[in-house]
Amino acid sequence: MASVEKRVRSSRTAWVARWRDPSGRTLTRSFVKRSEADDYLDGIRHSLRSGAYVDPYAGRITVGEWSQRWLAAQGHLKTSTRARYEGIVNRQVAPRWERVPLTAVRHADVAGWVAELALAPATVRYVHRVFSLLLDLAVRDGRLASNPANGVRLPRVEPAEKRFLTHQQVRDLADAAGPHATAILTLAYCGLRWGELAALRVSRLDLMRRRLTVAEAVTEVRGHLTWGTPKSHQYRSVPVPRFLLDDLAALVAGRAPEDLVFVTSSGAVLRNLNFRR
């Protein structure tokens, strides 16, 4: 049942729209004019009939609070991905939207915010994606009727020209890497990502068959190493060039199956950041 009733308090008149939501709760909202209450209630009736009803009070939660709930629900993500999402929420989303209620987020405002982001096109698209994902959850949770970030025009990403090293350049790079020359050659000729190389264990190196198995990866997140599956979440078998066999055999001689193939001089895990300095 839905109705509009007149209420007079302290010589002030208000028109109260009253209705029941799908769970049976009685909700109300006051208006100065009867026509405003009638129009609002017509919208409520229509949304109830069409199945598009959204609790008008559920969306009062701020984007800042909702983003933290959304982040807490991302336990299925890799640690590194979740850290990137959290960084975007804290650095790009929060400064603009932290105190804004979910229901006050408008499509035009999102479009304007995206246009003003002083970031590379690919980064702008990534920031928009994160914001859109947290709003998608608000829609599924019944706090928004639709996602105001949908349909926002995003900057075009121009594909960067790829640079491929020649065999001589790879060799020069390996020579410059000193004791890590074999690691450089393995990266170049086996197509491993850095985290896959750093996590490669002796047991996954089959020199007789000239194959290695990529089954694990390690990433550094805020100074801590996180172990997990490769980026594709799938194992893969990779051929090893013949000219690498002797170097790899010498590298793993005397090591246990669970030992890492590539380590620092002190036996520690190779960290990507150390090679970027």
Over 70: is that where the pLDDT of 277 sits?
no
Same domain? 173 vs 192: yes
Over 90: is that where the pLDDT of 181 sits?
yes
Task: Kindly state the helix (H) or strand (E) to which residue 121 belongs, with its residue range.
Answer: helix 121-140
Among 1-5, 54-58, 159-163, 191-195, the minimum mean pLDDT is found in 54-58
Output the pLDDT for position 151.
Answer: 95
Output the domain CATH number for residue 135: 1.10.150.130
Please choose, from the candidates 95, 135, 87, 101, the residue with its C-alpha nearest in 3D space to the C-alpha of residue 113. 95
Over 80: is that where the pLDDT of 59 sits?
no
CB 217 within 8 A of CB 201: no
How many structural domains are present in the chain? 3
Q: How confident is the model at residue 39 (pLDDT cuts 50, 70, 90)?
A: confident
Mean pLDDT value across the chain: 91
Q: Is residue 159 part of a domain?
A: no
Task: Give per-residue burial for 103-116: e unless 16+ CB within 10 Å, then b.
Answer: bebeeeebbebbee
Same domain? 114 vs 173: no
Q: How many CA atoms lie within 13 A of 268 on its CB side?
A: 6
CB 212 within 8 A of CB 274: no
- Torsion sign across C-alpha atoms 254, 258, 263, 266: negative
The full length of the chain comes to 277
Same domain? 46 vs 68: no
Output the domain CATH number for residue 268: 1.10.443.10
Same domain? 125 vs 38: no
Output the pLDDT for position 20.
Answer: 86
Same domain? 68 vs 45: no
Q: What is the mean pLDDT of residues 251-257?
A: 95
Over 70: is that where the pLDDT of 1 sits?
no
Q: What is the 3-state secondary structure (H, E, C) of 129-192?
A: HHHHHHHHHHHHCCCCCCCCCCCCCCCCCCCCCCCCCCHHHHHHHHHHCHHHHHHHHHHHHHCC
Q: Residue 123's domain spans which residues? A: 60-140
Same domain? 134 vs 204: no
Same domain? 270 vs 171: yes
Task: Quote the pTM value.
Answer: 0.67
Percent of the chain with pLDDT over 70: 99
Task: State CA 32 to chain mean position distance.
Answer: 44
Percent of the chain with pLDDT over 90: 60
Q: What is the mean pLDDT of residues 66-86?
A: 91
Q: What is the mean pLDDT of residues 148-152?
A: 96
Residue 222: CB partners within 8 Å, gap ≥ 6?
Answer: 83
Output the pLDDT for position 47.
Answer: 78
Separation between Cα atoms, residue 181 and residue 186, nearest integer Å: 9
Q: How confident is the model at residue 28 (pLDDT cuts 50, 70, 90)?
A: confident
